[in-house]
Amino acid sequence: MLIHHFAAYVGNQAHAPLPDDVQHHARRVVIDWFAALLAGVPMAPGRQLVAAHREELGVGHSTVLGHGAIAFPGLAAWINGSASHAAEFDDIFRDAVYHPGCPTIAAALALAEDRNASGTDLLRAVVAGYEVSTRIGAAIQPAHYRFFHTTGTVGCIGAAAAGAVLLAPGNADVAAHAMATATTFASGLQQAFRSDAMTKALHAGHAAQTGVLAAQGAAHGVTGVRDILEGDAGFGAALCGSPDWAIATAGLGTDYNVTRITQKNHGCCGHTFAAIDAAMRLVRDHALDPSRIAAVRVNAYQVALDVTGNFNPTTPFEARFSLPYVVAHGILHGAVRLDAFEPERLGDTAIRALMTRITLTADAELTAAFPRQRAARVEIEMANGTRHAHFQPYRVGDPEAPLDDAMLTDKFMELGGPMLGQDKAASLLDALWQLDARPVRQLGLGALRAR
């Protein structure tokens, strides 16, 4: 059974030394998750969840980050996981159409603080959660993504795998039951992308909390269905139809997906990134005057248009999922960061005027390459009739063009500095780069409050 393969790996992962490059990439994904979380702390739904659970705070050892509060692990994972998905700066595993950090790291951190685990054990847990969940996610795409949000579904399994490493290190049986139990609670519907409601971010928090609770139960004898993945009425049959389970176990334990994570360079939906990158490159390389642009033609894969084809966004959430808006913003302002979604930018007449000159077309070749390639072709036509075109085969931040450590550091400080203050953000960043040198509680997360 598939669960047995994953459980054997998770059991071994608890004590096996990580290769140096894998450990380095594990630190990178943790740093990137903290950056996304800190950006999301002042946003919905994190603030609302803290208010909703106010009477449950103040007990336990797990930090509700940015609020100076502690909680039991499940609640901390629920709030932190949701907040880390709010600003749309969270990481991506491209082949799975999946944000692994939000559920996996939120769960692992909450349990690591609760158990006073070492930083090394936290990193081992994170890697285990990433390796299991990214493989399952890749095995069920692209069919799964038609109706389901992979971060909410597969994220439950990644969070449970990470939890098992921390709660029952080396115990493959506990890992099997934790992942099996979490799998039956997998949920998260694509319809959440089509609304300004807070539901999408909650998918990540629910997955993190589910993983924590499943791992805690399994560590105390709660059993799960061992053929839950491949059974006739199991996860694959219900949420995909015809999964390629060979992908799910290929290279497990020897070839690490955590070294191939996309880290976002823009604060919006990842389906828009290739088009943003292409458009900004054309403006930069040809010194184009945005006021003289007559037309912008974007060819992308069908899912990108389905999810982000909104030409009339009215809220920050809608704008993050509007390809015309973020491309126009990138052309006019040279970036799509947090300020792109401030009220004055949402009402900017220049952005809105440029949006009317943008057309979106589904490209059959690019559609066929999804999800393993996220590409776009962009052509800009100027008022004098000259045309400039660029094919962007991947996104800045993808494994083919990764954010290096310096760029990741800059991203952390850009997002975390305003929340914590530059000195505290820099101190936290330094500690995270050396995470394997200290117990997790020594990070002092409870003392970090958003300004």
Domain segments of the chain as ranges: 2-265+404-447, 272-392
Q: Over the range 83-93, which residues count as b (16 or more CB within 10 Å of their CB) and which as e?
A: bbbbbbbbbbb
CATH class of 2-265+404-447: mainly alpha
> If you count DSSP H runs as helices and E runs as strands, how many of each does the chain have, helices first?
20, 6
d(CA 210, CA 109): 14
d(CA 87, CA 71): 23
437: number of Cβ within 10 Å: 11
Q: Give the count of alpha carbons within 13 A of 205, CB side only.
A: 23
Instruction: Determine contact, residues 358/327, Cβ cutoff 8 Å.
Output: yes
Average pLDDT over residues 98-121: 98
d(CA 24, CA 200): 30
d(CA 323, CA 93): 20
Which pLDDT does position 415 carry in this prediction?
97
d(CA 26, CA 15): 16
Secondary structure E strands in 144-199: none
Residues 6 or more apart in contact with residue 27 via CB below 8 angstroms: 123, 432, 433, 435, 436
Which pLDDT does position 450 carry in this prediction?
87
pTM: 0.96
d(CA 283, CA 290): 8
Place of tokens 């999408």: 200
**In terms of Cα–Cα distance, which of 381, 378, 385 is closest to 363?**
378
pLDDT digits (tens, 9 = 90+) for 57-103: 999 999 999 999 999 999 999 999 999 999 999 999 999 999 999 99
Average pLDDT over residues 432-451: 94
C-alpha dihedral (65, 54, 103, 253), degrees to nearest 10 = 70
d(CA 362, CA 380): 17
The answer to whether the bond into 343 is cis (omega within 30° of 0) is no
Strands 358-362 and 293-300: parallel
Per DSSP, the three-state class of 71 is strand
Q: Is the pLDDT of residue 282 over 90?
A: yes
Instruction: Determine contact, residues 114/59, Cβ cutoff 8 Å.
Output: no
DSSP sequence for 125-194: HHHHHHHHHHHHHHHTTTGGGGTB-HHHHHHHHHHHHHHHHHHSTT-HHHHHHHHHHHHHT---BGGGGG
d(CA 67, CA 451): 10
Instruction: Determine contact, residues 145/99, Cβ cutoff 8 Å.
Output: no
The answer to whether the bond into 19 is cis (omega within 30° of 0) is no
- Residue 19: alpha-carbon gap to chain centroid: 24
Q: Give the count of alpha carbons within 13 A of 185, CB side only.
A: 26
> Which two three-digit tokens encode residue 111?
């349990």
Which pLDDT does position 451 carry in this prediction?
80
Q: Is the pLDDT of residue 195 over 90?
A: no
d(CA 147, CA 333): 34
- Amino acid letter, residue 353: A
Which pLDDT does position 194 carry in this prediction?
86
Which pLDDT does position 234 carry in this prediction?
97
Average pLDDT over residues 326-345: 97
Residues 6 or more apart in contact with residue 353 via CB below 8 angstroms: none
d(CA 44, CA 82): 9
pLDDT digits (tens, 9 = 90+) for 10-58: 999 999 999 999 999 999 999 999 999 999 999 999 999 999 999 999 9
- Residue 283: alpha-carbon gap to chain centroid: 29
Which DSSP state fits 59? -
Average pLDDT over residues 320-333: 98
The pair phi, psi for residue 214, each rounded to 5°, is -65, -40
Place of tokens 């990134």: 273
d(CA 323, CA 358): 9
Q: Which CATH number fits domain 272-392: 2.170.130.10, 3.30.1330.120, 3.40.720.10, 3.40.50.2300?
A: 3.30.1330.120
